[in-house]
Amino acid sequence: MKSFKVLRFITLWGLLQFFLISNAQTATRHNNSTKIDRLKSTKAPVFEKVLIDSSNKYTAQENKIFDIVFRLTEVKSLARYLEKKTNGQRHLQMLLAGSPTKENKYYWVKVGEDNGYMFVTHYNFYVYKNPTRIFYLDTHQGDKVLSLEEFRRKNGM
């Protein structure tokens, strides 16, 4: 008799947990749909800056470099595409993979997305500050560096 009461308690507890979790998921879906509706109404695509080391912050100059890259037609197009295909759930992200050194006088900006498992890079850009010049690192062609014009010509843009 005692084991029957324990079994009934466990069953009822499991059902209660099931209903509570399913109700929470419905509320989350409702909140997300509101967020998505707001995202659809904005015309400008969204991008996020990713910090590799969370103890640091980007400098004003580094933020200017991100703005330069985000103004590129192909980057804005990718941001819109990503938001549309994921119903506003994912946004384009950028991270600074390298800063100027004595050997390399450019900022290395990776443009991609967090797919839930890892950062997936779509574009690698080298941005020189003075004068401002942008190059594309073609990792599919053995790390070949192309001018922005060559990259666009090669990709029919």
Q: What is the pLDDT of residues 81-90, one digit of tens each?
A: 988 888 888 8
Please check whether residues 147 and 126 belong to one and the same domain.
Answer: yes
pLDDT for position 114: 85
Tens of pLDDT, residues 126-139: 999 888 999 999 98
pLDDT band at 108 (very low <50, low <70, confident <90, very high): very high
Domain encompassing residue 25: 1-41
> pLDDT at residue 70 above 60?
yes
Same domain, yes or no, for 21 and 47? no
Q: Tell me if 107 sits within 8 A of 95, measured CB to CB.
A: no
Do 87 and 26 share a structural domain? no
- Same domain for 35 and 61: no
Band (150; pLDDT cuts 50, 70, 90)? very high
Provide the pLDDT for residue 76. 92
Contact 69, 126 (CB under 8 A): no
Regarding whether 64 and 27 lie in a shared domain, the answer is no
Q: Are residues 1 and 31 in the same domain?
A: yes
Q: Is the pTM value of this prediction over 0.85?
A: no
Summary count for the chain: helices (H), strands (E):
4, 6
pLDDT at 106 over 60: yes
Report the percent of the chain where pLDDT is more than 70: 64
Number of separate domains in the chain: 2
136 neighbors 119 (Cβ within 8 angstroms): no
Residues 25 and 101 in one domain: no
Name residue 103's amino acid.
E
Using one digit for the tens of pLDDT, what is the confidence trace for 13-63?
554 455 455 444 433 333 433 333 333 334 455 556 665 555 568 888 998
Query: Are 130 and 110 within 8 A, CB to CB?
Result: no
Whether residues 7 and 61 fall in one domain: no
